[in-house]
A and B are shown apart, each in its own frame.
Chain A
Amino acid sequence: MASIDIVREEELHDGHDEHHHDDHHDDHHGDKYQSNFITTYIFCTDHKTIAKQFLITGMFWAIIGALMSLVFRLQLGFPEENMAWLKPILGKWITVTDGIGTLDPEFYYALVTMHGTILVFFVLTAGLSGTFSNLLIPLQIGARDMASGFLNMLSYWFFFLAGAIMFASLFLSTGPFAGGWTAYPPLSALPQAMSGSGAGMTLWSVSLVFFVVSVLLGGMNYITTVLNLRTKGMTMWRLPLTIWAFLVTAILGLLSFPVLVSAIFLLIFDRSLGTSFFLSEIFIQGQALENVGGSPILYQHLFWFLGHPEVYIIIVPAFGIVSEVMSVHARKPIFGYKAMVLSILAIAILAFIVWAHHMFMSGVNPFIANIFVLFTLIIAVPSAVKVFNWIATLWGGNIRFNTAMLFSIGFVSLFISGGLTGIFLGNSAIDIQLHDTYFVVAHFHIVMGIAAFFGMFAGVYHWFPRMYGRFMNETLGKIHFWGTMIGAYAIFWPMHYMGMAGVPRRYYQFDNFDAFSHFTAMNQFITVAAIIVFSLQMLMVINFFYSIFYGKKQTELNPYDANTLEWTAPIHAGHGNWPGAIPHVHRWAYDYSKGGRNIHQTEPLNPGEQDMGNDHH
């Protein structure tokens, strides 16, 4: 780390005299500590390697989480079917009577809970923002590495530790935690309420605390790096939108995740020290507990103070990636760059004052809904600006339909569909009926699940050459795209109708209620669609690993003719990114098709030329 810093200093001093970084070819960029297998691939401080570690770990978790969803989708679609064939994997959670295997309801809830926790935290937080913040921040702002490569490495390994603990909890004899990813007490606080609330919940809390450590270490680094290590000429208004998005994401995480830790600690106290932060007047399992005076609603406030910003932590990086990919492949500047930055900032600020819209029906004073409905629906305004600006970016473009671009367009469609249903749910009056129904499931899966995945896919296909020096196969990519686009809507669109009919989420089966039991055909359809979509994701995974070794080689330094700095570094850049001096920046990132040609960020302004970013020089 120290050597990197020194190198960086030298480069900066040299750089002032060097106008063309190509003049500077000596090969002293290598990290002398990065010499053996362990420091290159495992305990590595190079942001590019850490990005790949986050991505591949994220993919591992995505597959686990998706497989879980398939098991509970089988239960929902085909509750009568024999599940005995799953017994070799799920063991005692499948009870076989008369040769017919049934899924244990408690394990159904464990699967639902783990699916949520894994996807929200491990895949869409660590796998998305962890991957692309790490890969792109130093490369796009012109830095040799993160401000602290060591903390960055720790960030990954704390994430790994969190994952290992969560993974271990899957094998507990009492099962993993099963009280929903939100872990509302008293269900999560009382082992006697549910078997998963015993050791499973203990491991869940410990795992998430380590996860937050990971997010905070990463976030501090991202913020410091963006603010302090930008190359000469890279003013804030010249940053690509990806970097703005990662910066805002990191700030959101830094301000909101500690609140989750406080909630988890209070919960741990209630569970093991006999305190009553969240417990009051409980009679359970034939026994009246002594705890009096606590409030389960306090936990909900603390949880959603993280939980709401968390959904923006998931979707904002996708905003950045999609904006960048769309601009590059439409060969056009992103429409309304400043409006895009300001709308991200507006959404981030609003993220902190809308948390109670998850709690309209939770017993909080109905009066406070007035404030939260107002702020929640205001979010529709910056979101609308973003959507219209993306559409306007396509207008007049010269659009390359490669996989990354297709996923970006798909993202906008999903963001519209899922965003609009948010206007129903954010309005507390409508939420009375829709709260905790399948309408909510449809809404958040489309807008922050699938949409965020689409952002991630766009990023993976687009920057794959930057990671591995090869391309992913485009034909397979496009099959992946169209299949997922159609399949994702096939899964989640019908759920709106179930939700409107009032079918509650988190039901093991619907037979008990006349009002909820008439969607059998739809549930089967959704399950089949989910299985197909899952196999398409496997196709993507195969394409990914196949292409690492056998993909089409990247021959040009800048294959997309993009304007940003990450394509000025060598194809297989070592630690330190640029062998010579760091390139300087003279203009914003979006001079696509200006005067009929693309002008890279490194190209000086012509005399009298107006830069779209603020020019301080």
Chain B
Amino acid sequence: MGTFFIIASLVLLAVILLQIGKITEIAGKLRGEEDMQMRSNAFHARLGVVFMVGFLVFVIVSFMYYKNSMLGYGPHTAASEHGVWIDNTFNVTMAVTGIVFFITHILLFWFAYKYRERTGHKATFYPHNNMLEMIWMGIPAVVMTFLVIGGLSVWNRTMADVEDGMVVGEDYIEIEATGLQWQWILRHPGDDGVLGERYYKNITGLNPLGQLWEDERNLDDIHPSELVLPVGTPVRVRIIARDVLHNFYLPHFRVKMDAVPGLPTYFVFTPTTTTEEYRQRLRDYPEWQAPSADDENKQRWETFNYELACAELCGRGHFSMKRIVRIVEPEEYVEWLASQKSYYSTTIQGSEEDTAKGVLSENTNE
């Protein structure tokens, strides 16, 4: 019945609108079409200006209202070294495009208003002006040149791999993130600082990454449930997909890279803010002082965590591929690492799939 009423009232509304439309047409004929057209011009030209003012005010107000979404501002400051460069590039672009946006919108609606059709008024025959066109081609060209140079210098610094001569496990940490439907499996290298070999055909229920247990470097690799990293050390993430495309996305760190089956990718970044420091930063903002959804005794900033997400459509569970990311002080990282047990020792050792027995015994013989 409710549906019927909704449909009936919609039909009624449509009929009313059609009638209004028809009536204005008839009224137009009575009043004289030209007079009607001039009134309509004046009305819609004014409406254009009202719209323009309203729109620009809406833009400014919504900007202020959503200021916490602004890159590089307060609670939305990047937590990585290169993230700050990206935020700056964003803000420079915002300033430039903002100016253009306001000027062009004001001109567009103001000219439309000023040059509305009026009785006795005539248009100016003004087909072109090469000088003017050169100017408004030249200015964007110059501005774009600066944006391209600025953007690419940030891009090339950000996307550079670790430098030659940097030693894994000492100068930087190498970890691995594997995307699969629909979770991330993380792998830390363990004490030796090096990740072991893997092969996709070795994947089993017990061995989700297909690690080769004959490879000694695999034996101390850990599969932590959270992405834990020390602050201030460059991290090289090997990004791997097991089935379809995924995307390794750390919004707070401005890190994003597709995970491609058969083609390992990487992203190198340096976290600059620990989780605790970031929480302290959020503490000052009223919206973060609301009660937390996870723990009602705490405020939102106290339960804040960095997150790892997937940013490439990968099927049904795409929206739920979450891992908590914790950035800690280097000492805490060492402690954490020591407390973790290797995946081999907890799950593989002694099982049917343990092909490493030989390797281990050789080691003990030596």
Contact = CB atoms under 8 A, between A and B. Distances in A.
A336 B133 contact: yes
Interface in B51-102: 51, 55, 58-59, 62, 66, 68-71, 76, 83, 85-86, 89-90, 93-94, 96-97, 100-101
B137 A546 contact: no
Contact of B93 (A370, A398, A423): A423
Interface stretch (A16-24, A119-127, A430-438): A430-438
A211 B312 CA distance: 27
Contact of B115 (A109, A385, A399, A539): A399
B17 to A, nearest CB: 6
A255 interface: no
A90 B168 CA distance: 54
Interface stretch (B117-125, B338-346, B353-361): B117-125
Given A361-B247, A381-B137, A497-B62, A391 B322 contact: no
Given A282-B200, A381-B141, A506-B313, A396 B126 contact: yes
Interface stretch (A222-230, A238-246, A412-420): A412-420
Contacts, number: 369
A542 B141 CA distance: 45
B166 interface: no
B314 interface: yes
Interface in A475-491: 475-476, 478-479, 482, 485-486, 489
B148 A479 contact: no
Contacts of B97: 420-421, 423-424
A409 B123 contact: no
A332 B123 contact: yes
A595 B21 CA distance: 37
B132 interface: yes
Contacts of B259: 363
Contacts of B25: 473-475, 552
Given A476-B18, A542-B18, A399 B116 contact: yes
Contact of B37 (A400, A432, A506): A400
Contacts of B111: 391, 394-395, 397
B69 A283 contact: no
Contacts of B154: 429
Contacts of A362: 258, 260
Contact of B70 (A193, A369, A500, A504): A500
Nearest to A388: B136
A193 B62 CA distance: 40
Interface in A549-591: 552, 590
A512 B243 contact: no
Contacts of A377: 144, 147-148, 151
Given A339-B133, A377-B144, A593-B123, A513 B14 contact: no
Interface residues of B, number: 121
Contacts of B287: 518
B260 to A, nearest CB: 5
B48 interface: yes
B123 to A, nearest CB: 4
A328 to B, nearest CB: 11
B236 interface: no
Given A294-B262, A381-B137, A475 B69 contact: no
Contact of B314 (A187, A282, A363, A474): A187
B236 to A, nearest CB: 14
A590 B127 contact: yes
B256 A500 contact: no
B69 A501 contact: yes
A475 B256 contact: no
B318 A398 contact: no
A543 interface: yes
Given A378-B144, A409-B108, A476-B18, A280 B117 contact: no
A535 B318 CA distance: 31
A486 B115 CA distance: 23
Given A283-B200, A377-B144, A501 B152 contact: no
A453 interface: no
Nearest to A329: B117
Contacts of A486: 51
B140 interface: yes
Contact of A542 (B14, B66, B160): B14
A273 interface: no
B147 A423 contact: yes
B251 A502 contact: yes
B93 A424 contact: yes
Contact of B126 (A293, A335, A416, A506): A335
A394 B127 contact: no
Nearest to B151: A427
Contact of A109 (B140, B156, B256, B316): B316
Interface in B156-183: 156, 158-160, 180-181
B262 A292 contact: yes
B159 A366 contact: yes
Interface residues of A, number: 128
B7 interface: no
A398 B111 CA distance: 10
B127 A284 contact: no
Contact of B100 (A331, A333, A420, A436): A420
Contacts of A401: 40-41, 43-45, 112, 116-117
Interface stretch (B211-219, B220-228, B302-310): B302-310
Nearest to A105: B316
Contact of B244 (A186, A433, A494, A509): A186
B30 interface: no
B69 A373 contact: no
A512 B322 contact: yes
Contacts of B43: 401
B301 to A, nearest CB: 11
A429 B152 contact: yes
B121 A398 contact: yes
A34 B234 CA distance: 75
Interface in B234-262: 242-245, 247, 249, 251-252, 254-262
Nearest to B154: A429
B336 interface: no
B45 A282 contact: no
Contacts of A236: none
B105 interface: yes
Given A373-B148, A377-B148, A416-B105, A279 B85 contact: no
The 6 closest A-B pairs by CB, nearest first: A280-B262, A502-B251, A396-B124, A366-B159, A427-B151, A473-B21
Interface of B: 3, 10, 14, 17-18, 20-22, 24-25, 37, 40-41, 43-45, 47-48, 51, 55, 58-59, 62, 66, 68-71, 76, 83, 85-86, 89-90, 93-94, 96-97, 100-101, 104-105, 107-109, 111-112, 115-118, 121-129, 132-133, 136-137, 139-141, 144, 147-148, 151-152, 154-156, 158-160, 180-181, 200-201, 203, 205, 210, 242-245, 247, 249, 251-252, 254-263, 265, 287, 304-305, 307, 309-320, 322
25 contacts: A106-B316, A190-B243, A283-B201, A295-B260, A297-B263, A331-B122, A366-B159, A366-B160, A369-B152, A380-B144, A381-B144, A387-B104, A392-B126, A398-B123, A400-B117, A401-B43, A406-B44, A416-B105, A420-B101, A423-B97, A424-B94, A430-B151, A474-B21, A497-B69, A515-B309
Given A433-B254, A507-B319, 8 more contacts: A283-B203, A333-B126, A380-B140, A392-B129, A397-B111, A497-B62, A500-B71, A501-B68
